[in-house]
Amino acid sequence: MADDPAVSLTGVRKTYRVGEPVHALDGVDLSLVDGSYTAVMGPSGSGKSTLMNLVGCLDAPTEGTVTVDGTDVTALSDRERTALRGDEIGFVFQTFNLMPRLTARENVALPLIFQGVDAAERGERADAMLGRMGIGDRGDHRPNELSGGQRQRVAIARALVTDPTLVLADEPTGNLDTETGARILDVFDEAHAAGNTILVVTHERHVAERADRIVHLLDGRIERIERVGRPGSAGAGGPADDEVTG
């Protein structure tokens, strides 16, 4: 994991036409190095969500190119983009977004269903991932039988189970209390240490400070990129988080 970018955006522009054209993103260049941990901050309306949708292969840019693991997303059909998303992106949402009627194990295994992985292997991989998240004994529980922190761990397990190029987290601690949130951030640290590439979108400074660098967005442009905590070396995972107790 040298410096070939896992994800890169070049001159990306996204325009919505709701009456007047609105430039949600207005010429963004950004590359996420393999194994890096990046946070995106910015006030609402700054283009955070749009950036996340583009990086997450949920949407295509109006102009410019988005490349994920060497594939130009812009040129893909909806179907190919969905397949790429399933293979290369792991999503973690603020509201967990687990399937309410499926058990924790089945939730973790869900992305593998759409990849055509057979049931036995799905179970094994899901169990292994739940174990790694420290909730190996919760596999048979439904989401409503789990605490908020446990739910988010299930969601992270689901995001990691496909061994994605990028883990994309949208306010992952937004629905959790400070203590639980800090524990979840530890999980991200561990994933980072294990070599996963992570992009966290947040408006909380202490969440963003866990990353290698913080990308500040304002009015659809990158205002500045701030290096924090760990010195550049990806995957080192040094304990530089003095603000947060974990």
DSSP H or E segment with residue 113: helix 104-114
Please state the closest distance from residue 85 (CB atom) to other proteins, in A: 6
Could you tell me which stretch among 25-33, 39-47, 66-74, 109-117 binds other proteins (CB under 8 A)?
Answer: 109-117
How many residues form the binding site for other proteins (CB under 8 A)?
A: 28
* Lookup: tokens for 218: 């304002």
Please state the closest distance from residue 209 (CB atom) to other proteins, in A: 26
140 is an interface residue for other proteins by CB under 8 A? no
**Nearest-10 Cα torsion for 105, 107, 109, 110:** 160
Could you tell me which stretch among 15-23, 60-68, 88-96, 191-199 binds other proteins (CB under 8 A)?
Answer: 88-96
Strands (DSSP E) along 55-205, which ranges? 63-68, 71-72, 89-92, 166-170, 198-201
* Lookup: tokens for 126: 């899901």
Matching residue, tokens 């420290």:
134
Instruction: Give the dihedral sign, CA 167/169/175/179.
Output: positive
150 is an interface residue for other proteins by CB under 8 A? no
Q: What is the SS3 string spanning 141-179?
A: CCHHHCCHHHHHHHHHHHHHCCCCCEEEEECCCCCCCHH
Nearer to other proteins, 78 or 242 (CB): 78
Nearer to other proteins, 22 or 83 (CB): 83
By CB under 8 A, name the one of 47, 56, 149, 181 that touches other proteins: 56
Could you tell me which stretch among 16-24, 80-88, 131-139, 179-187 binds other proteins (CB under 8 A)?
Answer: 80-88
132 is an interface residue for other proteins by CB under 8 A? no
DSSP-derived 3-state class of residue 244:
coil
Nearer to other proteins, 19 or 100 (CB): 100
Residue 179 has phi, psi (to 5 degrees) of -60, -50
22 is an interface residue for other proteins by CB under 8 A? no
59 is an interface residue for other proteins by CB under 8 A? yes
DSSP-derived 3-state class of residue 102:
coil
114 is an interface residue for other proteins by CB under 8 A? yes
By CB under 8 A, name the one of 97, 190, 218, 240 that touches other proteins: 97
Nearer to other proteins, 86 or 235 (CB): 86
Strand arrangement, sheet containing 71-72: 20-33, 5-18, 63-68, 71-72
Q: Kindly list the residues in this chain that would bind other proteins in the complex (CB under 8 A).
A: 53, 56, 58-59, 78-79, 82-83, 85-87, 89, 91, 93, 97-102, 110-111, 113-116, 158, 162
